[in-house]
Structure 1
Amino acid sequence: MGKLSLRLPAPDLAASAFVLHVLLHQVVIIVARVTTSYRAVEMGLSDIWIGAVGATFSLLPLFLATQVGARIDEKGARGAFLVGTGGVLVSALGLLTTGNSVIALLGWTGLLGTGHLLCLLSQHATAADQATDAARGRMFAYYTALISFAQILAPLVVAVFAGSGALPDTGRLFAAAAVAGLISLGCVLFMRHPGKPARDGKSAAQLPIRQLLRQKGVVPAILAGVGVICAIDLLVIYLPVLGAQALIPASAIAALLMVRALASLLSRLCFGWLLSRLGRRVMLTGSLLATGLGLTVLGIPVPGWALALAMILIGIGIGMATPISMSWVTSAVPPTSRGLVLSLRLTGNRLAQFLLPMSVGVVATGAGVSSVFLLLAAGLYGSAYSSYRALRPSAGSDAAG
């Protein structure tokens, strides 16, 4: 009994620290990025520059992701957790103290994106460290549910500090992000980090990237998540811009983001039940269609209640598609290559996140911000069709997590 009483608190503390880190990290990222968009509007930057600032968030991660993933497979996640969380904290402090020029916004946003990459891959490796595919699917559903909960908290933070005007107090918001970043750095010290996987022979060695991409299901799973990630990114970047142009108060924009996150959270809590009844093919295709439909509504003139309905559709779509693609891609490769395949997935996401804001920034300048949402909706409709064709029914595949 004495041994049990000494050992039980440590795993509880470690799990609590991981949960708190996931929540706080997402809050920091969302608050910092939303506030950066408001700061850019405050500075009078054009839509092209706003797109450029958004794109720098994904620039360095685009080149670093595979190296980071391979290193996590070899060395474990602790170092990446520490460096990533520290980088996010420094970038939040930098935006608070010196984020008053285009160069500063570009630089600190780039560091923010790099820290986010390190933290995400470390969190993914921790969540993927499960014994079975079913357990891994459930863990990713819980993990993404935590992210959804954080995406509810972050707009609440924005709403608390925003006031009633169309533009919030950006200084106070950056300060709130820095405080949350400091606490999340402390959480890393109490977490249990997955060690490097055992390598019992040649079959257990990390697969080369080319061979990894040839594994069944890897490429379709990576591509399925790209459009959904872009939807999240563009909502964070351009929904505040749309609100400012339409004179929608910042608190109302924050409420819409909270509605989206709440819908994602609720859908993820039902994830296992729905997956066992509908299967991966129907759920993934339906989630992409729902996200596309919601973005279409955002891109056309509609009343306020329709905007809320659109965010619910987007939230449900994002909530379902993300854990499906994550569990699918990690189940398709050996344990010694999970960090690398997750980094490849993230590389695809970051490539789209880098190119898309720049492209849609040009489109928004000529056709308006609403065209950004219509453009992405069209891409998601195409992705839904290709995913439906790629996920042909096979024995046991639909039930897989």
Structure 2
Amino acid sequence: MSTARPSRDEPRWRVSLAAQMLVIQISWVGVRIMLGYRAIELGADATFVALLASAFAAPALAGSVVVGRLADRFGGAIVTLLGSALMALGCIAPLAAQEQWLLLVSAGAAGLGSVGVFVGQQAFIAHRTRGLSSDGEFGNLATAASIGQLIAPPLITALAVMVASPTRPDTSLGLVLCGVAAALAIPTAVMLRKVDRESPSIQHAEAARSPLGVLRTPGLWRAIAVSSAMLVTMDLLYTFIPLWAAERDIDATVVGWLLALRALVSVASRLGLGRLVARFGRKAPLVLSMACGVVALGVLPVSDALGAIAVMVALGVCLGVPQPLTLAWVVEIVAVRDHGAALGLRMAGNRLAQTVIPLGMTLVAAPLGVAGVIWANAFVLALASGLAVASSPGGPGPKARERN
């Protein structure tokens, strides 16, 4: 097994990567909120707002694999640099937009920029940890992402309404703040680029495979399927918990606190993840955390506000642990030359699932109401758990250490 050369800049690149993810998440979450309000200002209806949401996601479906290949060829840092700049442009461009279609272009630019940053960061870690366990590094990155997602909505919206009104925030100020946050990621990308240049080059004896060839890697489609099920669960939670609460006359403030609790537990569950995997391997934490999610979703439709506290704790573990583990799983099973392409395929699969699965669930389970959709989500998550049980996600647990 090859090993990565230790770098004197290792602590610095970890901090830089975490800081970059933090500000990018603030920008990414904030711009989606602010562009929605901007569209309303320009007279958009619900159909256009839905189209705007699709414009954010479409670049991931179309360009993830290409971006991944660029990361393989030029290094993840340069891709994050370009992605950060494109995100900043996507945030600032709407300031001059007086036509709704220009908002779609801006959303597409921000979406493509986010693909560059996220896939570039993941490829950077994969290249830096080749031959070593990457669970801890992906856990740190995911923790920074969760913190950014936690603070972004109140930070951006609070500042935007400070000079306007609670119902009609100052979108120009909000978009400027999002653009500044994205621009703050550029200096960190420069530092990561320096580390990339100092790293030993990766020589590939074979030509890089086609995306279809990479997808045929044994176990890869399972890792992508498990990851997709987790992201779909998060999307549906945000979409349907307000409806669950409305059926029980639960205040919106309580819903906010419940979702904040879920996010905090997700952050906490990722701390020390590398040590957990080193002791038990990757499979046990992955399967057990997903099982927590299946049980939680199963009881949520019959829970009151008090019972939902335990549900959110379990969902926090479910939505916190698996994502970094599936990232490490993908990186471990593909060749070094295909890291970026595999990570791009993972993101494309995630976005496809986030588009298709909720629609299918809603069509099938709609007659049962909100409870039916939540239980359908539990069923999908149970299927993904079964895939994880039947797979070999690896990890440097006891058996791996015995082999070495």
**Shared fold per TM-score greater than 0.5:** yes
Aligned residue in 1 for 2:4:
none
Aligned residue in 1 for 2:210:
208
Please, which runs of 5 or more residues in structure 2 have no aligned partner?
A: 1-6
Is the Cα contact below 8 Å between 2:67 and 2:344 reproduced in 1? yes
Structure 1 CA distance, aligned partners of 2:105 and 2:358? 16
Identify which range, 105-114 or 309-318, moves more after superposition: 105-114
Aligned residue in 2 for 1:378:
379
**Residues 2-401 of structure 1 mapped to structure 2, 5 A cutoff:** 14-35=13-34, 45-46=45-46, 51-94=50-93, 98=97, 101=100, 103=101, 106-157=104-155, 160-161=158-159, 169=169, 171=171, 173-192=174-193, 194=196, 198=201, 200=203, 202-203=205-206, 205-235=207-237, 253-296=255-298, 300=301, 302-356=303-357, 372-391=373-392
The Cα shift of 1:296 comes to: 4.8
Aligned residue in 2 for 1:4:
none
Structure 2 CA distance, aligned partners of 1:244 and 1:141? 35
- In structure 2, the residue corresponding to 1:21 is in which secondary structure? helix
- In structure 2, the residue corresponding to 1:189 is in which secondary structure? helix
Structure 2 CA distance, aligned partners of 1:44 and 1:293? 40
Please, which runs of 5 or more residues in structure 1 have no aligned partner?
A: 1-6
Aligned Cα root-mean-square deviation (Å): 4.1
The Cα shift of 1:84 comes to: 1.2
Structure 2 CA distance, aligned partners of 1:104 and 1:366? 38
The Cα shift of 1:315 comes to: 1.9
The Cα shift of 1:330 comes to: 0.5
Structure 2 CA distance, aligned partners of 1:168 and 1:217? 48
Structure 1 CA distance, aligned partners of 2:103 and 2:390? 42
Residue type at the aligned position of 1:305: L
Residue type at the aligned position of 1:116: S
Q: Could you report, residue by residue, the CA deviation over 1:234-254 in whole angstroms, capped at 9, with x for unpaired residues?
A: 445666787799997776555
Identify which range, 147-156 or 48-57, moves more after superposition: 48-57
Identify which range, 322-331 or 56-65, moves more after superposition: 56-65
Cα distance 1:287–1:166, how it changes in 2: closer, same or farther (>3 A)?
farther
Cα distance 1:202–1:273, how it changes in 2: closer, same or farther (>3 A)?
closer
Is the Cα contact below 8 Å between 1:34 and 1:237 reproduced in 2? no
Structure 1 CA distance, aligned partners of 2:90 and 2:345? 25
What TM-score does the superposition give when structure 1 sets the normalisation length? Answer: 0.79
Is the Cα contact below 8 Å between 1:166 and 1:247 reproduced in 2? no
The Cα shift of 1:23 comes to: 0.6
What TM-score does the superposition give when structure 2 sets the normalisation length? Answer: 0.78
**Seq. identity, %:** 24
Structure 1 CA distance, aligned partners of 2:302 and 2:37? 22
Identify which range, 140-149 or 245-254, moves more after superposition: 245-254
Equivalences, count: 389
The Cα shift of 1:144 comes to: 1.5
Cα distance 1:237–1:96, how it changes in 2: closer, same or farther (>3 A)?
farther
The Cα shift of 1:169 comes to: 3.0
The Cα shift of 1:143 comes to: 1.6
Is the Cα contact below 8 Å between 2:156 and 2:177 reproduced in 1? no
Residue type at the aligned position of 1:259: L
